Structure 1
Amino acid sequence: MSIDFPYIGTALWKLLPALPTTLYITFVSVACGLIIGTIVAFARIYKVPVLSQLGTAYVTIVRGTPMLTHLLLIYFGLSMILDSLSVKYGWSFNSVSIPMIGFAYISFSITAGAYLAEVVRSGLLAVDKGQLEAAHAVGMTTFQGLRRIVFPQAFAAALPNLSNSLIGMLHGSTLAFTVSVVDINAKAQIIATTNWKFSEAYLAAALLFWGLTILIERGASFLEKRINVYNRGGVA
């Protein structure tokens, strides 16, 4: 079997229309997951009654089960619940009204939230508790101390893991094809079925994912350099 290298470029061009879908899934899930993860991290760090235990269970269960399982449970389980409620209460809204990508957003946000909860928690724990106490001593509120002192340092400590999580969600977005969402990987399969050039189509998809991964790594590296300048007391 020989590989048609010129066709890889053609396939790469044909994959570009699916790029926004992959980026939407990745960034929406990471953004929502970061919000969920931050809430869970604070609940666990400050040992909020009930929420702390629920947060621990959430992180353990989600991190201990496959990402594909979450997607299928949300897709079938949420559809079943919505349809049952729709019939019971006579709603016009049901699972058919939800676009397929919506299930991917919900599922991947829940998955990302569990992983990012540990990333955020590790970043917050890396900042000495005395710094928040010092902020209180100079008249800052807790929110001001967190926003101006704790969060910037926690972000710097968590940045490598945050970039890894973003890359992981980018690659995990390929699972959306199982619920009929046409992302980069799904588009590669569709293209390949027209001429049976599967190797070329998937190599093109791999190149596109590799390029996106490099961009994320470069962006994280740039942020780290900027943060290190400020940590040394310099001016960016």
Structure 2
Amino acid sequence: MKIDPSFIWTAFVNLLSAVPTTLLITAVSVTAGFVIGLITSLVRIYKVPLLSQIAAAYITFIRGTPMLTHLLLIYFGLPAILDAVSSQWGWGLRSSSIPMIWFAFISFSITAGAYMSEVIRSGLMAVNRGQMEAAYSVGMTTVQALRRIVFPQALAVSLPNLSNSVIGMLHGSTLVFTVSVVDINAQAQIVASTNWKFFESYLAAAAIFWGLTLLIERLTAQLEKRINLYNRGGVA
């Protein structure tokens, strides 16, 4: 096999058009997943009847099955459910009108929520329980104590693992090609198929993913520095 170094740059430039799609999928899934993870972690910590058991089952199932399986279950199952409900109630909505990327949003958000739930829960449990009691003693409500005292400290503890979750979702976004969404990896395959220079195209894709990963790590380091400074009572 003869490598064409000049085509690596050509492929790199062509792949840049798919970067926004990859970043959008990652951002939406991580944001929604964080909200899901926060809710499920609080439900489990405070042992809310029934909901805590449902949350535990959800986390166990998602963590015990592959990410690609989640995507395919949503891709094939959700349209069938939506069309059946729409027909039953006479709605005009049809699954065929839903953009393919929305299936990725839903699936990856559910996946990210399960993994982030454990990260957030471990961070919350790492905060000394005495701080909640101290907050109650000065008249704070549970919500105020969580928001002003517990969450900032838990975030500082959880940030490295949350960063790993973001990177994991960035890399996992390459699975969207299975539902016909063109991300960086899918674009690399399209570019390579024109002249069969797959090695060069995927090398360019790897360089982009590496750069995005380094950027996430750098942003995390800066955020961790500011949070730790704030927790020490300094000026952020």
Same fold, TM exceeding 0.5?
yes
Greater displacement, 41-50 / 130-139 = 130-139
Residue 232 of structure 1 aligns with an amino acid whose one-letter code is R
Q: How does 1:3-82 map to 2 (within 5 A)?
A: 3-82=3-82
Residue 127 of structure 1 aligns with an amino acid whose one-letter code is V
1:217 alignment counterpart: 217
For 1:87 and 1:6, locate their aligned partners in 2 and report how far apart those are by CA, in whole Å: 55
1:144 aligned onto 2:144: yes
Residue 86 of structure 2 aligns with an amino acid whose one-letter code is S
Shift of 1:182: 0.4
Shift of 1:132: 1.2
Query: How many pairs are equivalent?
Result: 236
- Taking a change above 3 Å as real, the CA distance of residues 232 and 178 of structure 1, as seen in their structure-2 partners, is same
Q: Secondary structure at the match of 1:130?
A: helix
Q: Percent identity, please.
A: 70
- Taking a change above 3 Å as real, the CA distance of residues 137 and 77 of structure 1, as seen in their structure-2 partners, is same
Q: Which stretches in structure 2 are left out of the alignment for 5+ residues?
A: none
1:112 alignment counterpart: 112
Q: Which stretches in structure 1 are left out of the alignment for 5+ residues?
A: none
- C-alpha deviations, 1:129-153, integer Å up to 9, x for none? 1101111111222211111100000
- Taking a change above 3 Å as real, the CA distance of residues 136 and 92 of structure 1, as seen in their structure-2 partners, is same
For 2:2 and 2:188, locate their aligned partners in 1 and report how far apart those are by CA, in whole Å: 18
Q: Secondary structure at the match of 2:181?
A: coil
- C-alpha deviations, 1:107-132, integer Å up to 9, x for none? 00000000000011001001011101
For 1:152 and 1:234, locate their aligned partners in 2 and report how far apart those are by CA, in whole Å: 14
Q: Secondary structure at the match of 1:235?
A: coil
2:156 alignment counterpart: 156
For 1:43 and 1:88, locate their aligned partners in 2 and report how far apart those are by CA, in whole Å: 33
Residue 30 of structure 1 aligns with an amino acid whose one-letter code is V
Residue 28 of structure 1 aligns with an amino acid whose one-letter code is V
Q: Secondary structure at the match of 1:195?
A: coil
1:165 alignment counterpart: 165
2:100 alignment counterpart: 100
Q: Secondary structure at the match of 1:233?
A: coil
- C-alpha deviations, 1:24-62, integer Å up to 9, x for none? 100100100111111100010000000000000000000
Shift of 1:232: 3.4
